[in-house]
């Protein structure tokens, strides 16, 4: 095999790696509410993309995590208008702003902090056995305002970093805004993965490049993984979902901390 043929075959190897990792990452994310970027984004870096290009490519692909998940939802599934407005009106500006100021963010400090918080989230999930079992009724106005502020900050993080915000969006939607865990995961996948990442991808695409030749494979893998993952989410118990979140959060937190050190 001569050198051009070798590099041509290497591209197929890269695409195969992308398909497998994107499929698994988004299947798990659809069940746990986040974490796809902890697998998918580093793979893009390892395969040779610059940081900004990898981030934009990842965000463009992860949009289809939300779309694949939404495609699996039953037709009777309805969304709460107040929650939708909070996620759109607070989260979207944060995502756009976060994408623009990414170069100003002290990445290592932020990743270390996010890693520690993610592991703390795993601990909360482990010790709080009732986490996400029941919805909280009659959420106060102050609580909604506080939740809106947190969603804006999460949108900011979503625009600036590859992963982690899905877990925390699910947490805020459950503990502050009162949703059941499975419902919170659905909102997180639809809005954080699809809408916020679409804004981030468009914003980053305007100031940097996206690896368009890799997107078709990633889109197929992402949407398929999300569809199957959402199917599993509809069938498994809340306690099993909590266990998956805990394991995913611990692994994600350790990876973030190790990357920051």
- Per-residue buried b or exposed e for 209-231, using 16+ beta carbons within 10 Å of the residue's own CB: ebbeebbebbbbbbbbbbbbbbe
Distance CA 26, CA 186 (A): 13
Output the pLDDT for position 1.
45
Closest CA to 57 of 169, 164, 195, 202: 202
Question: Tens of pLDDT along the chain (261 residues)?
Answer: 444 454 454 578 888 888 998 999 888 888 887 777 777 887 888 888 887 788 888 888 888 887 777 776 644 457 788 999 999 999 989 888 877 776 455 667 767 877 888 888 888 888 887 777 777 888 889 999 999 999 998 888 776 666 678 888 998 999 999 898 888 988 988 888 888 888 877 877 666 778 888 889 999 999 999 889 888 888 888 888 888 888 888 887 887 788 777
Output the pLDDT for position 221.
93
Output the pLDDT for position 151.
94
Distance CA 159, CA 176 (A): 22
Output the pLDDT for position 3.
46
Output the pLDDT for position 6.
45
Contact predicate 212/56, CB 8 Å: no
Instruction: Please return the burial class of 134, using the count of CB atoms within 10 Å of its CB with bins 0-12, 13-18 and 19+.
Output: exposed
Domain limits, the chain: 3-260
């Amino acid at each position: 095999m001569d050198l051009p043929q070798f590099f041509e075959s290497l591209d197929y190897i890269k695409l195969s790696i992308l398909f497998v990792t994107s499929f698994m990452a988004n299947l798990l994310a659809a069940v746990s509410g986040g974490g796809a970027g902890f697998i998918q984004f580093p793979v893009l870096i390892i395969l040779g993309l610059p940081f900004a290009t990898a981030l934009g490519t990842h965000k463009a692909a992860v949009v289809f995590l939300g779309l694949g998940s939404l495609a699996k939802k039953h037709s009777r599934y309805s969304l709460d208008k107040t929650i939708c407005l909070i996620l759109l009106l607070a989260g979207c500006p944060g995502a756009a702003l976060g994408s623009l100021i990414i170069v100003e963010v002290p990445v290592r400090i932020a990743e270390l902090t996010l890693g520690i918080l993610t592991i703390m989230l795993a601990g909360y999930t482990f010790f709080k056995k009732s986490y996400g079992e029941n919805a909280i009724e009659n959420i106060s106005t102050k609580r909604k305002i506080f939740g809106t502020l947190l969603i804006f900050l999460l949108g900011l993080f979503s625009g600036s970093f590859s992963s982690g915000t899905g877990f925390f969006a699910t947490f805020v939607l459950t503990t502050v805004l009162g949703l059941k865990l499975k419902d919170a995961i659905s909102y997180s996948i639809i809005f954080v993965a699809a809408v916020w990442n679409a804004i981030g991808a468009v914003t980053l695409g305007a100031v940097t490049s996206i690896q368009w030749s890799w997107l078709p494979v990633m889109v197929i893998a992402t949407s398929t993984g999300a569809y199957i993952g959402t199917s599993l989410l509809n069938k498994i118990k809340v306690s099993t979902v909590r266990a998956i979140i805990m394991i995913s959060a611990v692994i994600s937190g350790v990876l973030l901390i190790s990357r920051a050190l």
